[in-house]
């Protein structure tokens, strides 16, 4: 036996040693490389793992993840924790990011529901020349224009002639017919909602034109609140695991607050629903005192618009069908001034990089105020209705400079907390 000896298979010990060393070396090289490679990729993965993008582990093709058309992109929006507001209040403040719908707002849900309901009722037939009419200065026109194009209809949108140019341009680029009318009261025949209704009726009475007319009627059409009851509410329930103490939002048509509340309250009877209301809206007093009145309506102060605020999309001075079906479920209301919503919009950009529209700023003020009122440890859900890009020429112009060298203002400094405390204790109608 010795180094000269050959083994059973005729391999010398030197050769055997060399081979063993080679195998060991190559194995450890592979191990070292594996460690280096895993370090490199783990760095990438941990970055992504905190966000939504998953690059590893989902390289299997899953056909069911393909959404069909723009309709398929509507709903199932993310629920995000607003870190700045949660940290400052000790409550978990969650926001349903409705601006991530393909048309940029929650109105995609109701536009689709209204069109699908009309199809089911035999009132609309694709590619037959049918036209959907709506009176709206907000996002509903944009959502309807998008859905109509996707489903083979035309959209005709009536709006006040002082509607911001970015909205009019967007409607036109989505192929909608835009009709501008002078701002007028809801009792005026030429008011934009009444004008849209009249246009649909005229079309249906005119045998010389091809295709029928449908008045979408977002304020009174019950497909609106039902869309939120069937989808937005259940999504919130699922995303929070049923752990919600408060739902806070503003009301324009009332579809969101009614639909979400109707679903969530039958699942969570202890849930509190809070209306966030801008200046000039009568809903705050309606919820708190049962009287539809706003101080801006008093003798001699009537303005050009019913609801006089920089905020668009929420606030109204009549009880619509869509608000009415959820009104008994609304527990409280918070008045939000324009000063507060402008400061909140700036606060959300400076702390969270979150660029939102005016109604979302109102929602976030109300959510933060309610959080401070009930104390830490609660979960509050609100809505991010649309992006700030829809509000650049009016609301965001008034916000003023953002960021820069100035220290960011603390949350308490932007909320008029004394007014919240006094209005919630008052027993006569007060306008914040």
Chain contacts with ligand PLP (rule: CB under 6 A): 105, 138-140, 250-256, 313-314, 357, 359, 385-386
Q: Residue 344, exposed/middle/buried by CB under 10 A (0-12, 13-18, 19+)?
A: buried
Which is the catalytic residue, given 107, 167, 226, 286?
107
Q: Would you say how long the chain is, in residues? A: 432
Q: Would strands 92-97 and 79-81 be described as parallel, antiparallel, or unpaired? A: antiparallel
Taking the complex as a whole, the smallest distance from the CB of residue 138 to ligand PLP amounts, in Å, to 4
The yes-or-no answer on residue 56 being catalytic is no
Q: Any idea which residue has 């017919």 for tokens?
A: 177
Nearer to ligand PLP (CB atom), residue 257 or residue 343: 257
Nearer to ligand PLP (CB atom), residue 310 or residue 372: 310
* 357 Rama class: left (phi>0) / alpha (psi -120 to 50) / beta: beta
Please provide the distance, in angstroms rounded to a whole number, between the alpha carbons at the two ends of the chain.
102
Nearer to ligand PLP (CB atom), residue 313 or residue 432: 313
Taking the complex as a whole, the smallest distance from the CB of residue 44 to ligand PLP amounts, in Å, to 37
* 254 Rama class: left (phi>0) / alpha (psi -120 to 50) / beta: left
Q: How far is CA 141 from CA 72, 179, 219, 276, 333, in A?
A: 19, 12, 13, 23, 28
CB 379 within 8 A of CB 91: yes
Name the residue among 250, 234, 231 with its Cα closest to residue 242: 234
Taking the complex as a whole, the smallest distance from the CB of residue 357 to ligand PLP amounts, in Å, to 5
CB 283 within 8 A of CB 315: yes
Q: Any idea which residue has 């993965």 for tokens?
A: 45
Taking the complex as a whole, the smallest distance from the CB of residue 253 to ligand PLP amounts, in Å, to 3
Token representation of residue 385: 């209705």
Taking the complex as a whole, the smallest distance from the CB of residue 362 to ligand PLP amounts, in Å, to 9
CA-based angle 296:311:146, to the nearest 5? 130
Taking the complex as a whole, the smallest distance from the CB of residue 385 to ligand PLP amounts, in Å, to 3
Identify the bridge partners of residue 54 per DSSP, sorted by sequence position: none
Dihedral of alpha carbons 287, 289, 295, 296, sign: positive
Nearer to ligand PLP (CB atom), residue 141 or residue 213: 141
* 72 Rama class: left (phi>0) / alpha (psi -120 to 50) / beta: alpha
Taking the complex as a whole, the smallest distance from the CB of residue 223 to ligand PLP amounts, in Å, to 12
Nearer to ligand PLP (CB atom), residue 372 or residue 385: 385
Distance between CA 275 and CA 252 in Å, rounded? 11
CB 283 within 8 A of CB 323: yes
Nearer to ligand PLP (CB atom), residue 195 or residue 363: 363
Report phi then psi at 242, rounded to 5.
75, 10
Nearer to ligand PLP (CB atom), residue 282 or residue 357: 357
* Nearest position to ligand PLP, beta carbon: 313
Nearer to ligand PLP (CB atom), residue 88 or residue 334: 334
Identify the helix (H) or strand (E) that includes residue 391: none
Name the residue among 259, 258, 225, 260 with its Cα closest to residue 240: 260
Taking the complex as a whole, the smallest distance from the CB of residue 252 to ligand PLP amounts, in Å, to 3
Active site positions, annotated: 107
């Amino acid at each position: 036996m010795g180094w000269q000896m050959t083994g059973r298979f005729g391999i010398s010990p030197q050769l055997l040693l060399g081979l063993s060393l080679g195998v060991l070396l190559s194995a450890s090289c592979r191990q070292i490389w594996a460690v280096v490679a895993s370090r490199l990729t783990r760095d990438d993965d941990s970055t992504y793992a905190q966000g939504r993008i998953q690059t590893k582990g989902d390289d299997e093709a899953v056909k069911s993840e393909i959404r069909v058309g723009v309709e398929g992109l509507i709903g199932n929006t993310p629920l995000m924790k607003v870190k700045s507001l949660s940290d400052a209040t000790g409550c978990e403040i969650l926001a349903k990011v409705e601006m991530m719908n393909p048309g940029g707002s929650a109105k995609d849900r109701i536009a689709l529901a209204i069109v699908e309901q009309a199809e089911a009722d035999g009132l609309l037939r694709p590619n037959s020349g049918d036209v959907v009419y709506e009176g709206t200065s907000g996002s509903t026109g944009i959502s309807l224009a998008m859905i109509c194009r996707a489903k083979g209809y035309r959209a005709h949108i009536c709006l006040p002639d002082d509607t911001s140019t970015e909205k009019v341009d967007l409607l036109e680029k989505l192929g909608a017919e835009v009709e501008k009318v002078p701002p007028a009261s809801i009792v005026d025949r030429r008011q934009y909602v009444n004008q849209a209704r009249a246009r649909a009726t005229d079309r249906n009475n005119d045998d010389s034109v091809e295709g029928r007319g449908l008045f979408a009627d977002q304020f009174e059409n019950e497909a609106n609140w039902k869309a939120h009851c069937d989808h937005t509410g259940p999504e919130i329930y699922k995303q929070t695991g049923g752990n919600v103490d408060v739902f806070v939002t503003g009301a324009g048509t009332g579809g969101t607050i009614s639909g979400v509340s109707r679903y969530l309250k039958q699942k969570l009877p202890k849930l509190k629903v809070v209306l966030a209301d801008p200046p000039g809206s009568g809903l705050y007093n309606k919820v708190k005192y049962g009287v539809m009145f706003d101080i801006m309506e008093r003798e001699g102060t009537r303005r050009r618009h019913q609801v006089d605020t920089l905020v668009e999309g929420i606030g109204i001075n009549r009880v619509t069908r869509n608000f009415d079906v959820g009104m008994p479920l609304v527990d409280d209301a918070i008045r939000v001034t324009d000063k507060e919503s402008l400061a909140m919009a700036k606060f959300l950009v400076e702390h969270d990089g979150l660029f939102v529209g005016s109604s979302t700023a109102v929602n976030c003020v109300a959510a933060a105020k309610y959080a401070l009122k009930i104390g830490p440890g609660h979960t509050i859900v609100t809505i991010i209705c649309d992006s700030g890009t829809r509000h650049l020429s009016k609301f965001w112009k008034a916000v003023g400079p953002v960021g820069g060298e100035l220290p960011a203002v603390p949350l308490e400094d932007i909320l008029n907390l004394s007014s919240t405390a006094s209005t919630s204790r008052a027993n006569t109608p007060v306008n914040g």
